[in-house]
Chains A and B, each alone.
Chain A
């Protein structure tokens, strides 16, 4: 264990340490509970600093620490920041909700920070057991957080569904890991890739193992056909937490998926088959997600299905699978975090009865009653719909550009047609906000400064990065190609 090893774990240590401190404070000084959000946000900022420290020692280069278990590179740094952004937005959005529902306590913040720890670790893991352990770490936090609103039956239902399926999937991942190990004799992704390449073809065991792994991470990304949990879980789990659940695990899982497929690509005979598999997953996710989202009346379920569709677009970039696809993937994930977390933040503030349906029509006329939050939600919706000048458009543009360049014009056309369907249901929210007379008197809302900040940050970020992405893209280009 060298200094470099310790330095590379700086962000994780900050996050998990702060989680323990908050839990102890909660037990010893419950009066401080109101300050936990501030404390956690500071922790996240510190973790950003830590991630920068860990990366800036070796800028532009990838470094393996802990005997090659963890990678620190421009890509992992960029995606760590995306996850920390999601964590920060979720924390800001949660304060008002927790106070309104009278369930404010330190466990929530601690679990969220540990969850972020697990995600950062998984993102950087280059070895399957490390990846599996961090997967379990953040999954357990997610299960508990989904059930956090103890008094609500619907929250327990959400958590049980998520937990049961998640437990299944964990065993899939573990079994897949064992099969891959059996076939290649290694759990390190680089070695697995090298062994497969040396063999010249994929054995049945290795193929099945990788397929199970893809299914496992596909579950975390809620890709069709592993998506069934997400609408129910989103609906029942606390809304501000869904702002995190719907984005952060997907960010980390997408990179792991990329790494797994990268190992496969080393076998020329198998590449085509795997690309077909990924393309099929992408097409199914885009179609099923968009079409089912059309039919939803509950905004949280609608966003769940729309999230499935978005992962479909993202997979289009993974079909191409060269290093240049990393840039569209990262931009898309960043866009997705901003707009989806922003949308859930506003949803958590404008609906005061978490146990009931969150009907889209309940927002009727709220664009005028709550101009700021309404505008933030509208911006996020337009961005989800991929309408310029938002970062959602930029993400789609890069993903489709990547696909067209690889000759996947048919897939890209399918993608834009699917996103046309998407525009329809995203616009419905805008129309309800601004073009319908108010239907429901708001009651018991708690529109605190924290939540507003989260919504404004997300909406402004969506617009600003859409209008002026120059610096961001330039930096990402350097970060993703420097290997």
Chain B
């Protein structure tokens, strides 16, 4: 029988999830003055984590480029309540987990100068956040998932609240309470599912994901449960009426916090829909589809229009996130193989391009301590390298063919058109608007005459800043020209989720909750 520590030492998901948390313990003993050492240490830890991630990927990526489900040995955690420690990675969680691991060192490089105080705490928060995010992505037990979901909150709360801008406290508390409000209702839904399972399973508890999938609820119950899950995830994404925390959080967060927030944390919301809300409650998904599609469309257009009128670069990028994630949500709600592949890819794309944009805004802020468009103009002549990367990331975000954004948006739109029809047409308008507001940003900062004398003396990107940006751009091109490399690993997992969803829809409605027998392959896993 393997123990937790055996898992921790092997090439496992456990190591991937807990290495950052363990790595942040020595940080507590760094002397207060040794900021430099703390920086280097955190960066090295995050690079080791990246190496672990690649090692895991190498061990489990199939020869044909697919990524089959791989999981750690399941350990009993709270056996009295059937709660187990169960981590698994499949084609849905793999790209997002890898994105998260990949972004952390980049964020640390990007925050090298911007973070002026308490570097130990910053590094520790970053590493704890990594653990929380990876845990939530990989948990295959609903209790475990909930724990990691909440664990993410505290480091992010600290990142915004300690290292943020002027209204940081307001933003941090708002972020925390919004997220918590949703997740507490999800907790009740999880409890309800656990009890139903127990009642139907002869008194034996379980919160395992696969066991929960076997539960069939009557439609009216599904709707309530779906509502609880969907609210949690919709707040996190954020979808239209629940989005107000996001601009506040983004504007007040330090650069590193914004990149992590946009790059990974928001994806947890869309991931939640894809992993939990939709597969667990297929009939409720169908009921709620028109409403949610409507909200996604409003999000796309509203986000774009509001972004257009912003006078602050960071706010513009923040609102563009709402629009972009509206696309992702639209693709997910289309419930179509092509749209799902596009959505999953677009989650990664958004992490790369918006991450790059936030980094660039932060770099400009480090130099001029302002983010207002009115303070800039004509920067292309002063800082050509900066201009290059800003244009590059903008074009990727706009969806220029041969860059990553295009592939994702194209797949989403074509899949949505196939299954939903006109919403895809409306969403296309969002693509046009994205070009308008993003090019406005480029125009106002880079082109035109230099209006402010202070801007003449700006220094161009340093080697460190290049080291943060170049990897992002490499992936933008790579995904743009060879998308199949990135789509292939996700295909099988999305396909089986979709098949299960369609099978569940085809089943007749039940009048009271029932439990389907475990599938044969699952029994063999239990016996393992």
Using CB atoms and an 8 Å cutoff, list the residues of chain A in contact with chain B: 327, 368, 382, 387-389, 393, 397-398, 400-401, 404-405, 409, 412-413, 416-417, 419-420, 423-424, 427, 430-431, 434-435, 469-470, 473-474, 476-477
Contacts and interface: CB of A to CB of B under 8 A. Distances in A.
A423 B146 contact: no
A387 B80 contact: no
Nearest to A378: B154
A477 B180 contact: no
Contacts of B162: 434-435
A457 B170 CA distance: 33
B161 A389 contact: no
A429 to B, nearest CB: 12
B435 interface: no
B77 interface: yes
B188 A413 contact: yes
Interface string B50-86: 0000000000000000000000000011111100000
A435 B188 contact: no
Given A420-B177, A470-B79, A473-B80, A388 B151 contact: yes
Task: List the 10 closest A-B pairs by CB distance, nearest first.
Answer: A416-B184, A388-B147, A404-B191, A405-B195, A477-B80, A473-B80, A435-B161, A388-B150, A401-B191, A435-B162
A420 B153 contact: no
Contacts of A389: 147, 151
B185 interface: yes
A464 to B, nearest CB: 14
Interface in B147-178: 147, 150-151, 153-154, 157-158, 161-162, 168-169, 172-173, 176-177
Contacts of B169: 431, 435
Interface residues of B, number: 36
B78 A470 contact: yes
A188 B493 CA distance: 63
Given A387-B150, A401-B194, A431-B161, A416 B188 contact: yes
Contacts of A382: 154
26 contacts: A327-B80, A368-B118, A387-B150, A388-B147, A388-B151, A389-B151, A397-B143, A397-B191, A398-B81, A400-B188, A400-B191, A401-B81, A404-B195, A405-B198, A412-B188, A416-B187, A416-B188, A420-B177, A420-B181, A420-B184, A427-B173, A427-B176, A431-B161, A431-B172, A435-B172, A473-B78
Interface centre among A397, A430, A473 (most CB of B within 10 A): A397
Nearest to B224: A409
A389 B188 CA distance: 17
B192 interface: yes
B188 A404 contact: yes
A470 B184 CA distance: 23
Contact of B184 (A409, A417, A469): A417
Contacts of A419: 184
A267 to B, nearest CB: 27
A477 B184 CA distance: 26
B226 to A, nearest CB: 15
Interface string B474-513: 0000000000000000000000000000000000000000
A106 B78 CA distance: 43
A474 B118 CA distance: 41
B201 to A, nearest CB: 13
Contacts of A401: 81, 191, 194-195
Contacts of B81: 398, 401, 473
Nearest to B118: A368
B191 to A, nearest CB: 4
A420 B182 CA distance: 10
Contacts of B151: 388-389
Nearest to A432: B169
Interface in B177-225: 177, 180-181, 184-185, 187-188, 191-192, 194-195, 198
A437 B166 CA distance: 13
Nearest to B195: A405
B4 to A, nearest CB: 9
B191 A412 contact: yes
A283 B404 CA distance: 53
A368 B121 CA distance: 10
A101 B128 CA distance: 40
Contacts of B154: 382, 387
B87 to A, nearest CB: 15
B150 A434 contact: no
Contacts of A393: 147, 150
B400 to A, nearest CB: 41
A416 B176 contact: no
Contacts of A327: 80
A388 B146 contact: yes
B147 to A, nearest CB: 4
Contacts of B177: 420, 423-424
A397 B195 CA distance: 13
Given A400-B187, A405-B195, A434-B162, 5 more contacts: A382-B154, A387-B150, A417-B184, A423-B176, A424-B173
B157 to A, nearest CB: 7
Nearest to B143: A397
Contacts of A412: 188, 191
Contacts of B118: 368
A434 B158 contact: yes
Contacts of B79: 470, 473-474
Contacts of B157: 427, 430
A389 B83 CA distance: 14
Contacts of A470: 76-79
Contact of A423 (B161, B180, B192): B180
B24 to A, nearest CB: 13
A434 B161 CA distance: 8
A469 B85 CA distance: 12
Contacts of B147: 388-389, 393
A474 B80 contact: yes
Interface string B79-104: 11100000000000000000000000
A298 B151 CA distance: 28
Contacts of B173: 424, 427, 431
Interface centre among B143, B151, B176 (most CB of A within 10 A): B176
Contacts of A405: 191, 195, 198
A409 B146 contact: no
A431 B158 CA distance: 8
Contacts of B143: 397
A477 B157 CA distance: 36
A287 to B, nearest CB: 16
B310 to A, nearest CB: 27
B192 A404 contact: yes
Contact of B192 (A398, A409, A427, A430): A409
Contacts of A398: 81
A382 to B, nearest CB: 7
A437 to B, nearest CB: 11
A412 B177 CA distance: 18
Contacts of B146: 388
A368 B162 CA distance: 12
A424 B176 CA distance: 9
B191 A387 contact: no
Contacts of A473: 78-81
Given A409-B192, A427-B173, A434-B161, A387 B153 contact: yes
A435 B168 contact: yes
Interface string B426-459: 0000000000000000000000000000000000
A58 B366 CA distance: 69
A409 B228 CA distance: 13
Contacts of A409: 188, 192
Interface in B406-438: none
Nearest to B191: A404
B120 to A, nearest CB: 10
A405 B305 CA distance: 47
A368 B181 CA distance: 30
Nearest to A368: B118
B491 to A, nearest CB: 34
